[in-house]
Amino acid sequence: MKYERVRKGREELGWTQQKMAAVLFVNQKTVSAYENGVNAMSPEILCKLADLFDTSVDFLLNRTDDPKPLPRPKRRG
């Protein structure tokens, strides 16, 4: 699966693949492999990106066309 929305989000932030790699604690080749569909992203990486781009994982995975993030559950306590 190509993560085209991840690439678009990165470009909208004005980030290079190297900058995104540093934020995600991976190397630039890994970011390139994600964007080109060579490697799948872990749930942890997808969640980090959804938070960075202020969107939902479902939007990044093309499961919805609505970029708005889902409401976060309220914490008890």
pLDDT the model gives residue 77: 65
- Token pair of 72 as six digits: 């976060």
Copy the structure tokens of residue 61.
Answer: 């995975």
Q: Domain 4-60: which topology?
A: 434 Repressor (Amino-terminal Domain) (1.10.260)
Question: Which residue's entry shows tokens 């479902």?
Answer: 58
DSSP state of 37: T
Tokens of 11: 């470009």
The residue type found at 75 is R
Q: How far apart are CA 65 and CA 67, in angstroms?
A: 6
Q: Which parts of the chain sit beneath pLDDT 50?
A: none
The answer to whether the predicted template modeling score (pTM) of the entire model surpasses 0.85 is no
Residue ranges covered by each domain of the chain: 4-60
**Among residues 28, 30, 6, 2, which one has the least CA distance to residue 17?**
28
pLDDT for residue 11: 97
